[in-house]
Structure 1
Amino acid sequence: MTFQAYLDTIKEKTGLGPSEFRELASAKGLLEPGVKTGAILAWLRAEFGLGSGHAMAIAATFTERAPDADRIEKQFSGAKNRWRPTFEALLAVTNTFGVTNIAPTDTYISLVKPTTKLPAKFAIVAFTADRMDVGIKLKGVEPAGRLAAAGSWNAMVTHRVRITDPAQVDAELVGWLRRAYDAI
């Protein structure tokens, strides 16, 4: 299901589209600076009976996002640029599993498998000057060796692999990524 199809489902349920929700939120003062997303989500749940996913979709339409290309460039700014070739090589490998799309955020890049329902994230990649962190969604797999528990690093994944040298993007890491991709 595309994001637009998701919004269409919400309109069928409530009779309201993103622009109407925006007007109502603005009238309630929920679009003022400093208002937390949690307040918007609570309002959407209480007033319109939206579930968490639907509420988040509507809330996402309230904020303007930088274009994806700008968000990707931000990931590789300054000293982090040394990781661009390593990331591009990793992305090329994951595309051998099947289609892998990317979805950049302000702090990491998601690796996403398109599905017949909603696209499904199977990994994320974040960068520092010294490290490339690969978060992997591997439910039911015990952490071992360099496949560490993600812990509080990122709730969207179960495991984290810290890469400090491009040579560490190896068959073992690719195997974990393949397993996560295939599990979707």
Structure 2
Amino acid sequence: MDVDAATQTMIDNLPARTGRELPAWFAELDAAALDRHAAAVAFLKTEHGVTHGFANLIVKLHRSQGETVTADGLVDAQYEGRKAGLRPVYERLVAAASAFGDDVEVSPKKTGVSLRRGKQFALIEAPSATRISVGINLRGVAPTARLRGATGMCTHRVDVTSVDEVDAELVGWLHDAYDRA
């Protein structure tokens, strides 16, 4: 089971925070035989007093047992089928951000790829077959027509539909976010 550093930290903290290690929780879920994710999370929370974050992690890992998910596999899954034409845009964005320094971490998840330097400074997602949405953390920067204000983990968003749109302006915003991270 390949996991990112944050997930591994949670796994390492399970015994201290929940009283059991992961295999014991897996056995508990096997015995409960709950087929829905939400029902299994609710079971851990109500019957065992596990916090939501840990319950969600335990259930997610329990359901993915035996699956080997690699970073490349996660990215491949995001850019297959109708979204395959966006892969060059993604590659250009990652190449530009990686050039900022050796400390850029490219961290693929199921639906997006976080760009991190200690903390996340950008998020690359492909919400449709025609565009990539680049979330950028630029607190205090006024939105523009292209650099739209956003809520959530990213303060701004830029939509990109072609490799040509990964231009000096966009790379500049990414570099500014990298410098702030």
The answer to whether residue 58 in structure 2 is matched with residue 58 in structure 1 is: yes
Q: Which runs of 5+ in 1 are unaligned?
A: none
Partner amino acid, structure 2, of 1:181: Y
**In the superposition, relative to structure 1, how do residues 4 and 94 fare at CA in structure 2: closer, same or farther (>3 Å)?**
same
SS of aligned partner of 1:125: strand
Among 66, 69, 76, which residue is 1:67 paired with?
Answer: 69
**SS of the counterpart of 2:158?**
strand
Equivalent-residue separation in structure 1 for 2:17 and 2:130 (angstroms): 48
Counting only pairs closer than 5 Å after superposition, residues 6-17 of structure 1 correspond to structure 2 as 6-17=10-21
The TM-score normalised by the length of structure 2 is: 0.75
Q: Number of matched residues?
A: 172
In structure 2, what is the Cα distance between the partners aligned to 1:143 and 1:77? 32
Report deviation, 1:134: 1.0
SS in 1 for 2:124: strand
Are the aligned partners of 2:86 and 2:161 in contact in 1 as well (CA < 8 Å)?
Answer: no
Q: Return closer, same or farther for 1:159/1:44 CA change in 2, 3 Å cut-off.
A: farther
For 1:2 and 1:107, how far apart are their aligned partners in 2?
17
User: Structure 1 residue 88 and structure 2 residue 91: aligned?
Assistant: yes
How far is the alpha carbon of 1:168 from its aligned partner? 1.6
Distance 1:180 1:54, change over 3 A: farther
Give the aligned partner of residue 130 of structure 1. Answer: 130
Structure-2 change in CA distance of 1:133 and 1:57 (3 Å): same
Residue of structure 1 aligned with 2:115, choices 111, 115, 122: 111
Partner secondary structure for residue 61 of structure 1? helix
Q: Offset at 1:21?
A: 1.0
Would you say the 8 A contact 1:91–1:100 is kept in 2? no
Overall identity of the aligned pairs, in %: 35
The aligned residue for residue 144 of structure 2 is 144
CA distance in 2, matches of 1:56, 1:102: 24
Q: Is the 8 A contact 1:148 1:160 kept in 2?
A: yes
Is the CA contact (8 Å cut-off) linking 2:14 and 2:22 kept in structure 1?
Answer: no
Q: Report the TM-score when normalising by structure 1.
A: 0.74
1:179 CA drift (Å): 3.0
- For residue 28 of structure 2, what is the amino acid of its counterpart? L
- Are 2:160 and 1:163 equivalent residues in the alignment? yes
Deviation per residue, 1:99-143 (Å, 9 max, x gap):
333333343222233x3xxxx333222234322221223344443
Deviation of 1:24 after TM superposition, in Å, equals: 1.4
Preserved CA contact (<8 Å) 1:134 1:163? yes
Determine helix, strand or coil for the equivalent of 2:171.
Answer: helix
User: Which stretch shows the higher mean deviation, 65-74 or 13-22?
Assistant: 65-74
